[in-house]
Amino acid sequence: MDTLRAYLAREIYASTLFVFAAFLALFAFFDMISELTDLGKGGYKLQHAIAYVALTLPSHVYELFPLAVLIGTLYALSHLAANSEYTVMRSSGLAPWRAMSTLFRIGVVFAVATLIFGELIAPVSERAAKQLKLSATSTIVAKRISHRALGERRPALRQRARSAADTTLSDIRVFEFDDQYRLKTISFAKQGRYLGKNMWRLREIVNTTFTPDGSSVERLPEMDWTSVLTPTSSP
């Protein structure tokens, strides 16, 4: 009896894994085609696209595994019935309740695997994939803002207009994030003028700082900002 139940479980596992591999390969192919449209943006290259698709696979595991289990189980049972193997199992003493018990145990294994991927692996890999793509497609990297109110965090800059002389910027927004990519501060400057040696002087600054207790706003007449952004940098 244990041999019959092991054979039934082996057939279902094999069919489910085959269907799941086919679905996963198909979705990975579609994701890769989608990522090819982003090649060339900033430093985003083919190896980044491949790594991004690989890191998003665990999330597809969570989405596709229940469907693959259903299709794989139905396929395995129908294959056994079509070849009269299930009839032989019944005649050998495999009662319906024993078959149901075997299917229940298999379902528990699949449920635990789905839970592990969905709650433990997929969130981490999805976050890593987004961070990889964000860092690879970023075209403007700012190092730090030299001011006590802003500190040394992870800034990103957005500006609306550049002067004809290419030495001043207007309507500048600087977004700063912590190590977990959570927004910490937003700084708006009416104007910024390039002083040379990667130094900018920002004027009429409104700095909004976000904390767990709320937000605070500080207005500053001017401050100096050290950044890799220069008038010759591509916008």
- Domain locations in the chain as residue ranges: 2-137, 154-226
Angular region, 29: left φ>0, alpha ψ -120 to 50, beta rest = alpha
**What residue type is 219 in one-letter code?**
R
pLDDT at res. 232: 63
In sequence order, the β-bridge partners of residue 87 are none
pLDDT at res. 33: 93
pLDDT at res. 50: 93
pLDDT tens for the 235 residues of the chain, in order = 567 778 888 888 999 999 999 999 999 999 999 998 888 877 788 998 999 999 999 888 888 988 999 999 898 888 888 877 767 777 777 677 777 787 888 889 888 988 898 888 988 898 888 888 887 775 444 433 333 333 344 455 555 444 445 577 778 888 887 777 778 888 888 888 888 877 888 888 888 888 888 788 888 888 887 776 766 654 4
Tell me the pTM: 0.53
Q: Any idea of the CA torsion for 90, 92, 97, 101, to the nearest 10 degrees?
A: -110
CA angle centred on 89, ends 85 and 90, rounded to 5°: 120
Q: What are phi and psi of 41, to 5 degrees?
A: -80, 110
Sequence-ordered strand ranges (E) for 76-162 = 154-162
Give the DSSP letter of residue 81. H
Cα–Cα distance measured from residue 45 to residue 55, given in angstroms and rounded to the nearest whole number: 15
- Which token pair is 103? 């299917």
pLDDT at res. 54: 92
pLDDT at res. 146: 37
pLDDT at res. 156: 52
pLDDT at res. 166: 58
Given a contact cutoff of 8 angstroms between Cβ atoms, the answer to whether 98 and 5 are in contact is yes
